[in-house]
Structure 1
Amino acid sequence: MFETVLIANRGEIALRVLRACRELGVRTAVVYSAADADSAAVRLADRAVCIGPAPSRRSYLNAAAMVEAARQVGAQAVHPGYGFLSEDADFAEICALNGLTFIGPRPEVMAALGDKSSARALMSRAGLPLPDGSVEPVPTVEAAVEVAAGIGYPVIVKAAAGGGGRGMTVVRSPADLPRAYARTRAAAQAVFGDDRVYVERYLTDARHVEVQVLCDGHGNGVHLGTRDCSVQRRHQKLVEEAPAPALSAGTLDTIAETALRGALEVGFTGAGTLEFLVDAAERFHFLEINCRIQVEHPVTEMVTGVDLVHEQLHIAAGVPLRWRQEEIRPHGVAVECRVNAEDPDRGFAPTPGRLDRFVPPGGPFTRVDTHGRPGYVVGPHYDSLLAKVAVWAPDRELALDRLERALGEFEVAGPGVRTTIPFVRRVLDDAEFRKGRHTTGLVDRLLAAAAPGSPDPAPATTAPPNA
């Protein structure tokens, strides 16, 4: 095992990794920007290194500063958490060139899987089903028109280098495709520095289901079942649960086994997540693979008893996988919600400000991952996630009731600060969600119902863009 690990992140995930390291007897060093000097991770780490000013491009996205920080503290490995540099193949390669173990897949594997078009091609060769559409990027609008005509509308134009719900445009008619194609390419170039796009069939009434996998460097791998992440705003997740509800056991097993086969065939190592869209007939289609720990990993940990960050550290240290598939026995139901400093009534706009009151919930089978505290200032520079509240119960109905109880206890207050808690409670109260019949269109339906003068909405028949 490593002696010292540099935690190249901030917020709740920095704390999560720090605690896992401490449990394994590994010294921790965290990086921080000037805005995070008084963060919980800085106060708890063995060492802390300031890597720059508040803007992330001058701090948490500064690969050179990360490597220099690792040298200063004598770290042997770097844990990137999620976001920032966690799926940057160039950063993984820079770490390797400087004698640092990047806790994640090999740089060449990450590069291939981080490109959505390349990942689709690899997974298609591995036998994973894809939505109808182009496997390779479409270089011209004429090619996009031809692909769309062949698969039928609606379609979605996606950035090959996209992520985080950005770089996607739904197109419902041929007349709209040329403009959408040009707009998506321009946005992809601006955001990702890569204007390549592809076109695929846009699935309506879809569920967003993902599979957690662990693979070592010795050819071994296990899956840890499924998660449902269909409750999304701006194509980013709000509520996640394990296992995915209201799908047959046969479908769940097939999705999980297919995901593991794909991960092993492309040489994936570490903790990763393969994401799928599942239609009303329970046909599933590969979307992408995330080469890092996911925000929603607690729900998988709660139903399996496997500490995913511990496993990341062991795998990166070269230890053969410590689990066999038959030893992974998911039990019960876990549900997690993200508490973001956002105002749902204003399109989930961030609401930065000082937290005068911050009292997370407690109680049996309730887990809160947070870096918040009274006096903490939610700044404008980073993601608005304040906390993740996750609960476990032997069945889904009790799990949802337990999460509702926990959210009712959560106190967050400060000038101008709003959170997603009231909106999540609306989700928990929704009849379709309670039955596990919701799709990725749920949030849009709830927002439409809350709009002034809106009639009672009909059941949702469309989903937001395939994330």
Structure 2
Amino acid sequence: MIRLINMKMLTNENTTESSQIKGTILVLGSGPIRIGQGIEFDYASVQCVHSLKKLGYKVAIVNNNPETVSTDFDTADRLYFEPLTPQDVMNVIKVEKPLGVVVAFGGGTAIKLAKYLDSHKVKILGTSADAIDLAEDRERFEELCDRLNIKRPKGLTVFTEVEALEAAAKITYPVLMRPSYVLGGQNMIVARNNADVKEYMKIILRQGIENPVLIDKYMEGTELEVDCICDGENVLIPGIMEHIERTGIHSGDSIAVYPGNFTPHIEEKIVRQSTDLALALGTQGLVNIQYLIYQDDLYIIEANPRSSRTVPYLSKVSGVPMIELATRAMLGEKISDMGYGTGLYRKPDYCAVKVPVFSFEKLMDVDTHLGPEMKSTGEVLGIAPTREEAIFKGMVAAGWKMLKSGGVLFSVRDSDLPELPSLAQKFYDLGFTLYATTGNAATIERSGMTVNHVAKVHENYHDNVMTLLESGKVVYVISTSAKGRDPLAESVKLRRLAVERDIDCLTALDTANALADCLAGPYTLDNTSIIDINHDLVL
């Protein structure tokens, strides 16, 4: 039996006149929302439904999350409150007999059904199931990138621990490990030695994997992403977003700046390669592409032929109705007939910054250290005439207290020590009192700054980093030590205590530098400007 709310099928009577209806299209939502899969997919599903109804189609939606707008009784013509499983979706298809099914706006949950539906002769609207698989299949995607002369970090696919260790040795550490068809960076790590690889593979193999584990060379560079709209012949790029944090932190947890600041050479290469890739994939609709810039060269990280979490943000700040255009492209319309040109869309006279929001105070025993697996539960948008002011507004809106005095505790990993003096200098010049663990303190002192040495817990049980946080002297903690999968690790306990004491804790040097630059600027809540994004004017 097909279950709906109250075991009934909800029908919206106030729909397009029957004489105008062209047929039914089925839209798959995102299912239950979890961390790593936010409401941006609900936004995309709803915008798609509105666009289809405007075009004269009858729309049915499948989604079983009552907390989303897509499951409001008046969003679609029919709502099936069903799990997004192959059997349940096929039951709905047998009832509705749709012209086609839209899988591109429900995130990873919906896109995973494409192969199954295609095998059962169900028409997938937009990008084909084979193209979706091409973007996820390591060997096929590498062949495509080679053909298009697009560089990628060296990578291999494995199924066993032995294969993983051999692959890591061949690629050389550090490596990025992740399952294919991953959602929100789930179960992704940066492995820096054999022990990390063994631990990771034990966890993954216990879960039982059907798809291979992907192992890539981890390259620490500037990360950026592009959302493209493609009609099969032409490509529109509403904007390019630059991440403040370097690679290694999930895009959903990174501060993203639009428009990004790139050299003309790199920007031209981004546009050209994105266009080539979108066309080669046979994209009809949206495709999200993530890149990194390493040693002044461009490398592709991944391509997802579906809506992404940046689409609502980019649609608002660019003025391009991305979901509507993508929906029309999926149905065969050309971008040129929609009133838009191709290539890179215009750059605004303002800067927009997306800043993630976290709920660590509500999630016990979760390490706040950011990495490849997404942990944010929301995001805010800061818009201003300059990049610095936009970041300030975004950080304030995200809940950062932006205190300009007090103490700063440094406890960064060894690989970050070369960059520590320049960061510490920024806080020192602002008049903050510096505290640091032994190795960090010695590094800071060699640069001529005064710093207070603080013992770790195992070095002094009565006077250490934990008692310092309890004292109230510290307003910022900067802790980048290795991600702790062990909740008993001292670095994890330090970060958890910071959360419990409501102390801002930063786990990436790039975020800490952005914070220090904001604190050094002239901005306060009383003097920030207001932007009219409809006219690019400062009010």
**Same fold, TM-score > 0.5, yes or no:** yes
SS in structure 1 of the partner of residue 292 of structure 2: strand
Partner of 1:403: 394
One-letter identity of the residue aligned with 1:17: S
Q: 117, 128, 149: which is aligned to 1:94?
A: 117
Distance (whole Å) between structure 1 residues aligned to residue 478 and residue 225 of structure 2: 19
CA apart distance, 1:40: 6.5
Cα 1:340–1:292 change in 2 (3 A) is farther
State how 1:25-424 maps to structure 2 within 5 Å: 25=55, 26-33=57-64, 36=66, 41-52=71-82, 59-60=83-84, 62-73=85-96, 75-80=98-103, 81-88=105-112, 90-92=113-115, 94=117, 97=120, 99-102=122-125, 104-131=126-153, 133-134=154-155, 136-138=156-158, 147-173=167-193, 177=194, 179-189=195-205, 193-194=209-210, 196-204=212-220, 206-217=221-232, 219-229=233-243, 235=250, 237-243=252-258, 245-279=260-294, 281-322=295-336, 323-325=340-342, 328-331=345-348, 332-339=350-357, 342-343=360-361, 346=364, 388-404=379-395, 407=397, 421-422=398-399
Contact 1:185 1:196 in 2 (8 A): no
| Cα distance, 1:459 vs structure 2 | 7.8
Task: Quickly say closer, same or farther: Cα 1:140–1:315, change in 2 above 3 A.
Answer: same
Which residue identity lines up with residue 45 of structure 1 in the other structure? T
Shift of 1:164: 2.6
Change in Cα spacing, 1:151 to 1:20, as seen in structure 2 (3 Å) is closer
Cα separation, partners in 2 of 1:215 and 1:276, compared to 1, 3 Å: same
- Aligned-partner Cα distance in 1 for 2:175–2:254: 26
Structure 1, unpaired ranges of 5+: 53-58, 351-382, 408-420, 436-441, 463-467
Partner deviation per Cα, 1:166-213 (whole Å, 9 max, x = no partner):
34443334xxx2x54454445445557236334332223x33211222
Q: Which moved more, 1:191-200 or 1:110-119?
A: 191-200
- Equivalence map 1:436-451=2 (5 Å): 445=480
TM-score (norm 2): 0.59
Deviation at 1:396, TM superposition (A): 2.0
What secondary structure, in the 3-state scheme, does the structure 1 residue paired with 2:265 have?
helix
* Change in 2 beyond 3 A, CA 1:191/1:139: closer
What SS does the corresponding residue of 2:252 show, helix, strand or coil? strand
Distance 2:78 2:376 in 1: 22
In structure 2, the CA distance between the partners of 1:289 and 1:27, relative to structure 1 (3 Å rule), is same
RMSD over aligned Cα atoms: 4.4
Q: Work out which of the residue numbers 6, 14, 26 in structure 1 matches 2:42.
A: 14
Q: Distance in 1 between matches of 2:378 and 2:86?
A: 27
Q: Is the 8 A contact 2:237 2:344 kept in 1?
A: no
8 Å CA contact 1:161, 1:196 repeated in 2: no
Displacement after TM superposition at 1:265 (Å): 2.5
Q: SS at 1:109's partner residue?
A: helix
The total of aligned residue pairs comes to 387
Match of 1:166, SS? coil
Question: In the alignment, is the contact (CA less than 8 A) between 1:298 and 1:390 conserved in 2?
Answer: no
* Structure 2 unaligned regions, length at least 5: 1-20, 31-38, 369-373, 409-421, 427-476, 484-490, 512-539
Distance 1:345 1:443 in 2: 20
TM-score, with structure 1 as normaliser: 0.67
Structure ranking higher on relative contact order (CA contacts 8 Å, 6+ apart) = 1
Larger Rg: 2
What does residue 456 of structure 2 align with?
none
Structure 1 residue 348 displacement after superposition: 5.5
